[in-house]
A and B are shown apart, each in its own frame.
Chain A
Amino acid sequence: MDAALLAQHLVNGAMLGVIYALVAVGFTLFFGVLDVIKFSHGDVVMLGAFTALATAAGFTDPASSPLLVLSAMFLAAVGGMALFGALLARYLVLPLRHAPTLNVLLITLMAGTVIREAVRLFYPQGSNPKPFPRLMPAGAWEFGEFTLRLDSALLLLTGLAAIVAVHLVITRTRLGLAIRAVAQDPETASAMGIPFRGTVLATFAIGSGLAALAGVVNGLYYSEVSFNMGLLLGAIGFSAAVIGGLGNVYGAILGGFLFAALQTVGAVALPFASAYKDVFAFAVVIVVMAWKPAGLLAERSADRV
Chain B
Amino acid sequence: MRVRVPVVLAGVVSLLCALNVSAKDTVKLVFIGPLTGGVAANGLGGRNSADLAVKLRNADPKAKYAYELMVLDDECKPNVGVQVATKAASDNSVIAGITHYCSTVAMGTVDVYRRFGLPVVVWGAVLPDITYANDYKEVHRVNGTMINQNETAAKFMTGLKFKRWAIIHDTTDYGKGHNKYFSEYLQKNGGQILGTFGVTADQQDFSAELTRIKELKPEVLYFGGITPLGVRIRSQMDKLGVKAVFQGTSGIISDAFVEGLGPLAEGVVAFREGAPVDKLPGGRVFIEQYAKGGYSDDPEAYGPFAYAAANLIMDAVEKVGPNRKKVRAELNKTADYDSVVGKITFDDHRQNAVPLITKFVVQNGKWIVWEDSEYASGKRSLVRK
Contacts and interface: CB of A to CB of B under 8 A. Distances in A.
Contacts of B40: 125, 127-128
A15 interface: yes
A37 interface: no
B205 A16 contact: yes
B324 to A, nearest CB: 32
Interface stretch (B102-110, B114-122, B231-239): B231-239
A66 to B, nearest CB: 16
Range of interface residues on B (Cβ < 8 Å):
20 to 34
A207 B215 CA distance: 39
A18 interface: no
A12 B240 CA distance: 9
Given A129-B228, A145-B215, A12 B207 contact: yes
Interface stretch (B51-59, B194-202, B342-350): B194-202
Contacts, number: 81
Interface string A265-277: 0011000011101
B330 interface: no
B211 interface: yes
B38 A9 contact: no
Contacts of A16: 205, 207
B208 A12 contact: yes
A278 interface: yes
Interface string A1-32: 10001001100110110000000000000000
Contacts of A273: 171, 196-199
B239 A152 contact: yes
A125 B256 CA distance: 13
A125 to B, nearest CB: 8
Interface stretch (A188-196, A222-230, A291-299): A222-230
B212 interface: yes
Contact of A274 (B37, B209, B231, B239): B209
B267 to A, nearest CB: 19
A274 B38 contact: no
B208 A274 contact: yes
B241 A147 contact: yes
A5 B231 contact: no
B204 A8 contact: no
A9 B228 contact: no
A9 B208 CA distance: 6
B36 interface: yes
Given A127-B36, A127-B37, A128-B38, A222 B211 contact: no
13 contacts: A1-B215, A5-B211, A125-B40, A127-B37, A147-B239, A149-B239, A222-B204, A222-B205, A224-B231, A267-B209, A267-B212, A273-B197, A277-B208
